Amino acid sequence: MSGKSPSPPMSAALDLQRGRSTVPPTSVANARVWALGSTALKIAGLAIFAFLLFGPLANLVLWSVAERWYTPFKLPVSYGLRYWEVVFRPTGDAMSSLATSVIIACLTVVVALAVSIPAGYALARLKLPWRTALMILFLLPQAFPSVAIYINVARVFYSIGLTGTITGVVLVHAAHGLVYSVWIAAAAFAAVDRDLELAARNIGASPLRAFFTVTLPLAAPGIMASAIFVFLESLDEFTGTFFVGVPQVTTLPLLLYNASMGGNYQIASITALILLVPSVLFMIVIERFLKADVLSKVGQ
């Protein structure tokens, strides 16, 4: 009995195989055409995508090394690194505005974290009655047309002497960055298992001690990611800096704006390329820091 039992399924399998081999050859050719077509489509799609992504970048690079380039010519007339030298000259505007940009970005991160760590923890752990309203409050600066907001901010800042100061610009950038930092920090704290904190309290840690030895280190990757977002946002920010900081505070985006308005595409391109470096670097870092378990809790 047991010796015979395997034979029926085996013969069924053979039937199946035979059945498959009798498929007409035309359909095989058809399938091959389809496969070829879909591969070609994929390649074309990728090429368009790559062009959209890298075309402007290539243009930037080309402009940054073009010493002379005017209308009838499709490519620069002469190449050289003269403008790079202008930008990186120690006395140049570019280096000082890069320094200003970085200082403002760092201060913005400090201010944003000072708000978002306690706020994020509270939003994640405490049962706040207006939780959703609070979350939306941090979203508000992004919800309205920024020019309208910044004109009014500039007026208020002017009356209290904050226009044209680094402090004023930092405050504007921080308000703008808080949405990222608070929402991501809240998600990062929510992703830390409550029991981990309770285990520390249980064997003798005060609430503050438990927070600094357990909760904060475990939420650190998410908070780090939010800090990077805030840093990049600040580095990139134009409108707020324009209304609040000009003319005393010149950041890289403002320099870029001035250069391109003045028709100096080489300087503008080089500034844009400099601005690109931290963005690309940090995006690579963020990808390592922001884990799925944190991302899934953003906005909850």
Partner 1 sequence: MTVGQASHRHPVVIFSRNNRRVKRIREDIGVDDSVLAAIDVDHLQVSYGSQQVLHGVSLSVAPGEFIAILGSSGCGKTTLLRTIAGFQKASGGAIRLYGQDVVNMPPEKRGMAMMFQSYALWPHMTVLGNVGYGLRLRGVPKDEIRSRVAAVLKMLNLSGLEDRKVTNLSGGQRQRVALGRALAIEPKILLLDEPLSNLDAKVRIQLRSEIKSLQSRLGFTAIHVTHDREEAMTMADRIVVMDAGRIAQVGAPKEVYDRPNSPFVASFMGADNTIGLDVRPSGGGVEVSTDNGSTAFYGGEVPVGSLTAYFRDDVASLDDPNARVDGSIILPGKITQRTYPGGHYRYVVAIGDRHFTVTDDRYHDVDRPVGMRLPLASLHLFPQAQSTGGNHA
> 79: which strand partners?
66
By C-beta, is 50 or 196 nearer to partner 1? 196
User: How far is Cα of residue 181 from the mean position of the Cα atoms in its chain?
Assistant: 12
Q: Show the DSSP H helices in the chain as ranges.
A: 7-21, 25-64, 82-88, 93-125, 131-143, 146-159, 166-190, 194-202, 207-210, 216-236, 239-245, 252-261, 265-289, 292-295
Asked whether position 293 contacts partner 1 by CB under 8 A, the answer is no
Please report, as residue ranges, which positions from 198 to 217 form the binding site for partner 1 (by CB under 8 A).
198-207, 209, 213-214, 217
Least distance between partner 1 and beta carbon 207 (Å): 8
Within 214-243, which residues bind partner 1 (CB under 8 A)? 214, 217-218
- What contacts 50, CB < 8 A, 6 or more positions away? none
CB of 216 to partner 1, least distance (A): 10
Which residues sit opposite 271 in a β-bridge?
A: none
User: Which residue lies nearer to partner 1 by CB, 121 or 243?
Assistant: 121
What gap in Å lies between CA 186 and CA 120, rounded to an integer? Answer: 4
Residue (39 or 206) nearer to partner 1, CB: 206
Between CA 144 and CA 152 the distance in angstroms is: 12
Give contact residues for partner 1 (rule: CB under 8 A): 193, 195-196, 198-207, 209, 213-214, 217-218
